[in-house]
Structure 1
Amino acid sequence: MGQLPKDAHAVYLASEIRRTYPELGPNYYLDLMPFAPSMLVIGTPEAHYQIAQDHLLHKLPNLKNFWKKWRAIFNPGFSPAHMMKLVPAIVKETETFCNNLDKHVQKQDIFTMKSLTDHLTLDIIGQIVLGVHFDSQRQPNAVMESLRTQIRWFSFGTEPKLADRYNPIRPLVQWYHSRVVNKYISERFDQRLAMHQAGDCSELQRTRTIIDLAITAYSSDESGRTTGPVVDPFFKRVCMSQIKLFLFSGHDTTSSATCYHIYLLAQHPQIMTRVREEHDAVFGTDTSSTAATVCSSPHLLNQLPLSTAVIKESLRLFSTVTPSRRGERGFSITDNEGRSFPTGDFLVLPCTQSIHNDPLFWPQPEAFIPDRFLVGPDDPLHPVKGAWRGFEHGPRNCIGQELAMLEMKIVLVLASRTYDFVPAYDELDKKAGREQPTVHGETAYQVDILQPRGNLPVRVSKAHV
């Protein structure tokens, strides 16, 4: 890691080990004690399958049945059918995002794209989960800023600098902002529950949030018959925990992923031209009517193979998921050569970033080639089965992947034909008088919580197409 910029995310560690010790193979043990748990790093599709689908390893094995129950309760809120009903709300927020881009077009300034995408995805997830319009794209929202402060001050307990890991201020900061967020979510949960108890069907049918669907599922018997909204304190605690998780994961990972496909398309104008041609063919050439067309015919978003491939390829190059699992004594994974890797007493780290950039599975792994996801199985570019893990696989895959893909498609459809983006790293690094830091030639390498360096500074202008 010392060969990389100091702010590079530790997710690069596994790839750097593979580069330095190619003879080691993609699966190996890594001992970082006392700075981190001893771990088994796995980097093949077969090994991923063994721990995520064939023999499911959990973060906490004793919570296996607990997790299954609550996943079933929250699943309806993330179903594809329900997501399609949310398209008008997502489109409306994306139009506000585009209005903010217009302001930067007029200013001709440099701004950070992630600041805009953060507030866009926050406003979307707030409505979908809680039925609340944070309106953070137009004005600061104190509660959401507390949530984001918690994220910035979060510690995994593995920071290389001990001063960062054991910062004495962190517990105080987390305690204060946690109280602000918990109080807000508790009040909103009680409001939604009161609507159910009062039988306020008109409002519930109009918004139909994820928490509404969870309350309905929890209040139903095994046959699916609703027995009434009887909610115990334990359910509320679980829901509040899940709401915070959805608000965090549902906005930050999607925000970073949106930044990256904007960044990559800006660097590959020939692919941007093809994307615009695809959108013209599906939605018509009148860009002023695109938003209305998407709202009235959301199924058209499923007719964008190239746009989908662009998003998947950007998630391959810049993975926003870093899952980890706890090993089990008596359970081992086996590689293609028949070698056995016991998992007991180890943190099992399925390294998505490493497998996504391994030449064993991806020809030209560092190149942006969306056509990988469009060619047939006989083409050398066709992905190896199980090698793409943008949202993980198996029963513990990302519950919000349909929502994330929907958001990113809508942003791409509404913004790609209207704006041209130019990354401003060169300008800012030159102005700061520093040599441009890169990770293997990449200026927008991942930092902090897997977002682009500098939150992706860009200039934007109106596209002339």
Structure 2
Amino acid sequence: MISPGPLSFERAISAGLIACASAIVYLVVKGYRARLVFHRLRQQGMPMPPWNPILGHLLAVPPVMKVLPEDAQQPDAFEALCKAHEKKDADSIIYLDMWPFADPMMVICSPVLAVQACQEYDLPKPPILHAFFNPLAGGDNLFTMNGPEWKRSRALFNSGFSAGYVLQQTSHIVDEAEVYVETLREYARKKEMFSLDDVTCWYLMDVIGTVTLDSRLHSQRQFNPLASALRRQIRWHVLDNEWNLLIRWNPVRPFVQWYNNYQMNSYIAAELDKRYAEWTSDETAASSRSIIHLALAGYMAQQAQQKDQPRPKQLDRAFRDWATVQIRLFIFAGHDSTSSTICYCFYLLQSHPEALAKLRAEHDAVFGLDIAQTASKMRSQPHLLNNLPYTTAVIKESLRLFPPASAMRGGLPGVYLQDDKGNRYPTEGTNMWILHSAVQRNPHYWPDELAFRPERWLVKDTQDPLYPIKGGWRPFEHGPRNCLGQTLAMLDVKITLALTVREFDVRHAFEEWDRLHPTSKVKHVNGDRAYQTQSGGAHPADGYPCRVSLRH
């Protein structure tokens, strides 16, 4: 073996120095451009906290963080900044310079401006979203796509989420819900404290697995490689609000994420191959409108156009990779946000016994007094789930107070947002973060903005002060990029409440949890101990410790 000579060593050192110098120059140039954007915005009088030419708005963050829990979701901090620094003669919006942690940002807490960004202009999804979604979905997906590719993919999956077809899935959802109910019975008998969020996540994983893959995962009761890998990937996912550098730069993370990706991709690829083999041998197998079948239908349609070529015996690898990413996205989004919503429904109903009594009375009227017959009635008469106006109001009010996610859009040259006072806000060079929690609790637009009042959603008179403002409720977003699975999510929550609220008393155990985990740190947001933390989407703090008891 020939050892490297002095010249080779010097070349390696030189290459390393050049790489470091290039990185420094890149950071300096990009940082200068970011600061220049805000220098110009400041000259135009745009709303923002006190700005420093070197540190931007980084100094504005620590005072806010002192009054919030360490693990509170980022939107809570930015909502507090918006309230503290918005102009009195302007709508709820501020610009934030968080370089090098983020590109120039507009924080939007106004429904008027949110409607313009997402509906009137339908601004594109920015590249920054890839950093969040790629570890979970594995690549460019329906949520991050723009342009013709997004339109084609959206059109392909639309029919799988039509109201009529989703209602036909009631029986499948009830199957998984009955396993969830039995799990709650076991905890009631054992009289143990447990994490409601964790148990509910596994439950919704099984629900979305059925709808997406047309097969049962059984992850509530046994190990499933796909479900376990995805839940593990979420736990290892580092978000922007992680300040601990030992966690943020953990050298083990890339290897764990690679293994999780391998597990998920292998499982889904095998399902795709299995369904394709069934389809090619028996075309009657194509009657389902599950996500996996809709993806295959699009592939088969493309193959049919190539009339002079025989049907391939195996799936094209490029298609399999694309379909795997979309399926991973649906499984992540379909279980993560809905599980959180169910937990917050229980939390708010516990805190408002009069609302819980009305909910139970509505279920008695629709499903009958024998709660043992509820599941069978939903299977045989799924249309009964459309006769639950108060239940729907409870769910919508829970989503208003605790939305599981926010929206992000990218600005464009020449596009300005304008508030009702005539102020115009340039979007070029910024990412717009529409904070759903802040929009839906904005006191300028919502009477008793922090109060749980399901009656808001039963008001018919548009002049009533409680009547929700247009575009003010947006947990599923609005416009062309609204959530494809919102009908399924609402059905999931209705079925869950119908099978649980009359059989169980579900009570949070935060006081007990805090005695076992004493701390002097802040543990409330807006007076709520079940404040939202970031774990994939927004979830209740500390996994929502709770106890369940059987009602007599």
User: TM-score normalized by structure 1?
Assistant: 0.94
Cα deviation for residue 239 of structure 1 reads 1.1
Deviations 1:261-318 (A, max 9, x none): 1111111111000001111111111111111111111111111111001111111111
Report if aligned partners of 1:78, 1:210 keep a CA contact under 8 Å in 2: no
Return the alpha-carbon distance in structure 2 between the equivalents of residues 9 and 181 of structure 1: 27
Return the alpha-carbon distance in structure 1 between the equivalents of residues 171 and 195 of structure 2: 26
Task: Decide whether aligned partners of structure 1 residues 67 and 431 sit closer, same or farther in structure 2, where only a CA change above 3 A counts.
Answer: same
Return the alpha-carbon distance in structure 2 between the equivalents of residues 186 and 220 of structure 1: 20
Residue number among 232, 237, 243 corresponding to 1:149 in the alignment: 232
Residue number among 11, 16, 37 corresponding to 2:103 in the alignment: 37
Deviations 1:27-49 (A, max 9, x none): 22111111122101122222112
Q: Report percent identity of matched pairs.
A: 40
Report if aligned partners of 2:416, 2:425 keep a CA contact under 8 Å in 1: yes
The yes-or-no answer on 1:443 pairing with 2:529 is: yes
Question: 1:457 is matched by which residue type in structure 2?
Answer: P
Deviations 1:72-91 (A, max 9, x none): 01111111111111100101
Return the alpha-carbon distance in structure 2 between the equivalents of residues 180 and 274 of structure 1: 45
Question: 1:189 is matched by which residue type in structure 2?
Answer: L
Residue number among 480, 487, 493 corresponding to 1:395 in the alignment: 480
The yes-or-no answer on 1:138 pairing with 2:204 is: no
Residue number among 439, 448, 452 corresponding to 1:368 in the alignment: 452
Partner of 1:346: 430
Partner of 1:87: 170
Between 312-321 and 330-339, report the one with greater CA deviation: 330-339
Report if aligned partners of 1:309, 1:374 keep a CA contact under 8 Å in 2: yes
Task: Decide whether aligned partners of structure 1 residues 225 and 276 sit closer, same or farther in structure 2, where only a CA change above 3 A counts.
Answer: farther
Residue number among 185, 191, 203 corresponding to 1:120 in the alignment: 203
Return the alpha-carbon distance in structure 2 between the equivalents of residues 226 and 245 of structure 1: 30
Partner of 1:101: 184
Return the alpha-carbon distance in structure 2 between the equivalents of residues 164 and 352 of structure 1: 28
User: How does 1:180-195 map onto structure 2 within 5 Å?
Assistant: 180-195=263-278
Task: Decide whether aligned partners of structure 1 residues 329 and 156 sit closer, same or farther in structure 2, where only a CA change above 3 A counts.
Answer: farther
Partner of 2:544: 456
Partner of 1:215: 296
SS of residue matched to 2:549: strand
Question: 2:301 is matched by which residue type in structure 1?
Answer: S
Return the alpha-carbon distance in structure 1 between the equivalents of residues 444 and 283 of structure 2: 56
Task: Decide whether aligned partners of structure 1 residues 434 and 143 sit closer, same or farther in structure 2, where only a CA change above 3 A counts.
Answer: same
Return the alpha-carbon distance in structure 2 between the equivalents of residues 156 and 457 of structure 1: 23
Partner of 1:279: 363
Return the alpha-carbon distance in structure 2 between the equivalents of residues 209 and 338 of structure 1: 47
SS of residue matched to 2:164: helix
Report if aligned partners of 2:106, 2:430 keep a CA contact under 8 Å in 1: yes
Return the alpha-carbon distance in structure 2 between the equivalents of residues 79 and 437 of structure 1: 41
Task: Decide whether aligned partners of structure 1 residues 209 and 225 sit closer, same or farther in structure 2, where only a CA change above 3 A counts.
Answer: farther
SS of residue matched to 2:407: coil
The yes-or-no answer on 1:380 pairing with 2:461 is: no
Residue number among 229, 248, 253 corresponding to 1:165 in the alignment: 248
Return the alpha-carbon distance in structure 2 between the equivalents of residues 214 and 159 of structure 1: 36
Report if aligned partners of 2:159, 2:289 keep a CA contact under 8 Å in 1: no
Return the alpha-carbon distance in structure 2 between the equivalents of residues 375 and 273 of structure 1: 20
Residue number among 305, 315, 335 corresponding to 1:251 in the alignment: 335
Cα deviation for residue 176 of structure 1 reads 1.3
Question: 2:485 is matched by which residue type in structure 1?
Answer: G
Question: 1:315 is matched by which residue type in structure 2?
Answer: L
SS of residue matched to 1:75: helix
Residue number among 67, 73, 85 corresponding to 1:21 in the alignment: 85
Cα deviation for residue 161 of structure 1 reads 3.6
Residue number among 49, 67, 82 corresponding to 1:3 in the alignment: 67
Report if aligned partners of 1:35, 1:160 keep a CA contact under 8 Å in 2: no
SS of residue matched to 2:146: helix
Residue number among 50, 58, 68 corresponding to 2:124 in the alignment: 58
Return the alpha-carbon distance in structure 1 between the equivalents of residues 527 and 382 of structure 2: 39
Between 226-235 and 126-135, report the one with greater CA deviation: 226-235
Residue number among 331, 335, 352 corresponding to 2:419 in the alignment: 335
SS of residue matched to 2:87: helix
Question: 1:101 is matched by which residue type in structure 2?
Answer: L
Residue number among 499, 505, 521 corresponding to 1:420 in the alignment: 505
Report if aligned partners of 1:111, 1:459 keep a CA contact under 8 Å in 2: yes
SS of residue matched to 1:220: helix
Question: 2:481 is matched by which residue type in structure 1?
Answer: R
The yes-or-no answer on 1:261 pairing with 2:345 is: yes
Question: 1:20 is matched by which residue type in structure 2?
Answer: A
Between 428-437 and 168-177, report the one with greater CA deviation: 428-437
SS of residue matched to 2:546: strand
Deviations 1:46-86 (A, max 9, x none): 21121211111112598311101100011111111111111
Task: Decide whether aligned partners of structure 1 residues 80 and 217 sit closer, same or farther in structure 2, where only a CA change above 3 A counts.
Answer: farther
Task: Decide whether aligned partners of structure 1 residues 100 and 281 sit closer, same or farther in structure 2, where only a CA change above 3 A counts.
Answer: same
Cα deviation for residue 255 of structure 1 reads 0.7
Return the alpha-carbon distance in structure 2 between the equivalents of residues 217 and 369 of structure 1: 44
Return the alpha-carbon distance in structure 1 between the equivalents of residues 255 and 268 of structure 2: 20
Return the alpha-carbon distance in structure 1 between the equivalents of residues 351 and 311 of structure 2: 52
Report if aligned partners of 2:73, 2:241 keep a CA contact under 8 Å in 1: no
Superposition CA RMSD, Å: 2.2
The higher radius of gyration belongs to 2
Report if aligned partners of 1:216, 1:226 keep a CA contact under 8 Å in 2: no
Report if aligned partners of 1:73, 1:218 keep a CA contact under 8 Å in 2: no
Q: How many residues align?
A: 461
Return the alpha-carbon distance in structure 1 between the equivalents of residues 533 and 480 of structure 2: 29
Return the alpha-carbon distance in structure 1 between the equivalents of residues 300 and 119 of structure 2: 30
Query: What runs of 5+ residues in structure 1 fail to find an aligned partner?
Result: none
Partner of 2:16: none
Report if aligned partners of 2:126, 2:431 keep a CA contact under 8 Å in 1: no
Return the alpha-carbon distance in structure 2 between the equivalents of residues 156 and 313 of structure 1: 27
Partner of 1:434: 519
Report if aligned partners of 1:219, 1:226 keep a CA contact under 8 Å in 2: no
Return the alpha-carbon distance in structure 2 between the equivalents of residues 160 and 36 of structure 1: 14
Task: Decide whether aligned partners of structure 1 residues 60 and 198 sit closer, same or farther in structure 2, where only a CA change above 3 A counts.
Answer: farther
SS of residue matched to 2:301: coil
